[in-house]
Amino acid sequence: MKILGIETSCDETAAAVLEEKNGKISVLSNIVSSQIEIHKKYGGVVPEVAAREHILNILPVINEALIGAGIERKNANKKLDAIAVTAGPGLITSLVIGVETSKTLSYVWQLPIIPVNHIEGHIYANFIGDYKKIKLPAVVLTVSGGHTMLILMKGHDNLKTIGDTRDDAAGEAFDKAAKLMNIGYPGGPAIAKMATKTISATDQINETIKTIDNRLKKAQPPTEENLFQIHLPRPMINSSDYDFSFSGLKTALLYELQKDNNWKSKIPQYSQDFQQAIVDVLVSKTIKAAKQYKVKSVMLAGGVAANTELREQLKNAVGKLNLQYILPDMQFTTDNAAMIASAGIFKAKRSKSFDWKKIKVDCNLKL
């Protein structure tokens, strides 16, 4: 089965062709046209601007995906089995462009069209490749700019949300915190990069001692208490449910910055603790859910799954439970169409009747 995937739910115009053969899913092409450079100056995605860019990009991106997969446009109807497209959730003006383009192609090529939930797409990024090795049930931590969810996956048509974000999603919190510190957009990668620049308290002491030894040869070394330390809250880490809330964390950071005249020199430390606060909460709740639901595997999905600390720290925690740990290849973490096509493949196995006249955009589409 060969499927063309199309994704335009936010600020990436993406198309990909995936093939399923002998129990494996391979990516024949994967094209992503990112609008990051355009939205950077506003510090966030401007829906109207995103939609205009999608209109300009969608056909060239699909064309490139077909060429990349070795499919001639005039033969596309014979080479492809279906078109999978993100129908929601997302920005309505962005979604509509992907969906209407897909409907047009479906009409012209006489191919079935498969509506895919964007969150489901993120989860199915994990099924690209040798998907048969994945053990279910799984608890899936889905973390993106718009969502922070814990999902219990018992089967391909059996996804149950067990925890959701009450306010800001993890990615959104990263983006807002980076904006507060003025370190760039998108905030997740900017904060992750800054956090690597921190040095430990012990290293700070040793550095200071070295400097003092060299220059004065007689001063007392500073104590750890004299050095800068920060500890932001870990919101809802001990709550009895699986919900998340990150808007208070961002406000806590704002208050810390306002109190500190010298915060600009300590951006790495603030970034490090902000990132660690989010990772602590995500890992703790995911592990708690994995134990309660007695799953066989733990899966990570969504744009924030690109965060190295989260990938590593969750891996260590899952390792202690002796469960399978599944995480997406880096290129399939942030928005792309390969994940949409992958979800489409599994949906097409369940049903063949997808009619272009019935596909509707739903910006609040639930799982």
Q: Does 144 bind Zn ion (CB under 5 A)?
A: yes
Question: With CB under 6 A as the contact rule, which of the stretches 13-21, 31-39, 172-180, 243-251 interacts with ligand KG4?
Answer: 172-180
Q: How far is the CB of 130 from Zn ion (least distance, A)?
A: 24
**Interaction between residue 273 and ligand KG4 (CB under 6 A):** no
126 binds Zn ion, rule: CB under 5 A: no
Q: Which of residues 143-162 bind ligand KG4 (CB under 6 A)?
A: 144-146
Q: Shortest Cβ distance from residue 334 to Zn ion (Å)?
A: 7
Residue with tokens 């149950």: 160
- Pairing verdict, β 148-155 and 138-143: antiparallel
Q: Is 163 in the site for ligand KG4 (CB under 6 A)?
A: no
Which stretch, 131-139, 183-191, 230-238, 285-293, contacts ligand KG4 (CB under 6 A)? 183-191
Q: Does 307 bind ligand KG4 (CB under 6 A)?
A: yes
- In this chain, which of 335, 342, 346, 361 binds Zn ion, going by CB under 5 A? 335
Q: Which does 307 bind (CB under 5 to 8 A by kind): ligand KG4, Zn ion, none?
A: ligand KG4
CA-CA distances (angstroms) from residue 52 to 46, 49, 101, 277?
Answer: 10, 5, 14, 37
Of the residues 13, 94, 286, 334, which one makes contact with ligand KG4 according to CB under 6 A: 334
171 binding partner (options Zn ion, ligand KG4, none; Cβ < 5 to 8 Å by kind) = ligand KG4
Binding residue for ligand KG4 (CB under 6 A) from 82, 335, 346, 347? 335
For ligand KG4, the closer of residues 119 and 289 by Cβ is: 119
Tell me, by CB under 5 A, how many residues bind Zn ion. Answer: 2
Residues that bind Zn ion (CB under 5 A): 144, 335
Residues that bind ligand KG4 (CB under 6 A): 10, 144-146, 171-172, 174-175, 186-189, 192, 302-304, 306-307, 334-335
